Amino acid sequence: MEEVLTEKWGKFSLNEDENEGVSLDLEEIAPMVQRGRFCLIGKLLADRIVPKDFFKVPLLKAWRPKGTASFQVIGGNLFIVDLEYEEDKDRILAGKPWLFDGNLVSLAVFDGLTPPAKMNFDTEAFWVCMYNLPLACMGKETGQKIGASVGVVQEVDVEEDEPGWGEYLRVKILIDLSKPLARGRMLHVHKQSLWIAFKYKKLPKLCY
What are 114-131's pLDDT values in tens digits?
888 888 899 999 999 999
The pLDDT of residue 110? 92
pLDDT (tens digit per residue) in 57-115: 999 999 999 999 999 999 889 999 999 999 999 999 999 999 999 999 999 999 889 88
Mean pLDDT of 194-207: 89
- 20 part of a folded domain: no
Q: Which domain holds residue 141?
A: 123-207
For residues 128 and 162, membership in a common domain is answered with: yes
For the four alpha carbons of 27, 31, 33 and 38, in that order, the dihedral sign comes to positive
Q: At what angle do helices 52-63 and 86-94 cross, to 10 degrees?
A: 90
Query: Residue 108: what pLDDT?
Result: 92
Handedness of CA 175, 90, 39, 62 (dihedral sign): positive
Residues 107 and 195 in one domain: no
Same domain, 9 and 105: yes
Q: Report the Cα 34 to chain-centroid distance in Å.
A: 23
The total of structural domains in the chain comes to 2
What is the number of alpha carbons within 13 Å of residue 40 lying toward its C-beta?
Answer: 27
Measured in degrees and rounded to the nearest 5, phi and psi for residue 47 equal -85, 10
Coil vs helix vs strand at 17: helix
CATH of the domain at 68: 3.30.70.330
Answer whether residue 7 is part of any domain: yes
**Exposure b/e, 150-182, CB count within 10 A at least 16 = b:** bbebeebebeeeeebeeebbbbbbebebeeebe
Model pLDDT, residue 196: 98
Q: Which residues contact 48 (CB under 8 A, 6 or more apart)?
A: none
Q: Do 31 and 108 lie in a common domain? A: yes
pLDDT one-digit tens code per residue, 2-45: 555 555 655 667 776 677 778 888 889 899 989 999 999 999 99
Query: Does 1 have pLDDT greater than 60?
Result: no
Q: How far is CA 195 from the centre of its chain?
A: 28
Q: Are residues 79 and 105 in the same domain?
A: yes
- pTM of the predicted structure, to 2 decimals: 0.80
Domain final residue, candidates 95, 118, 141: 118
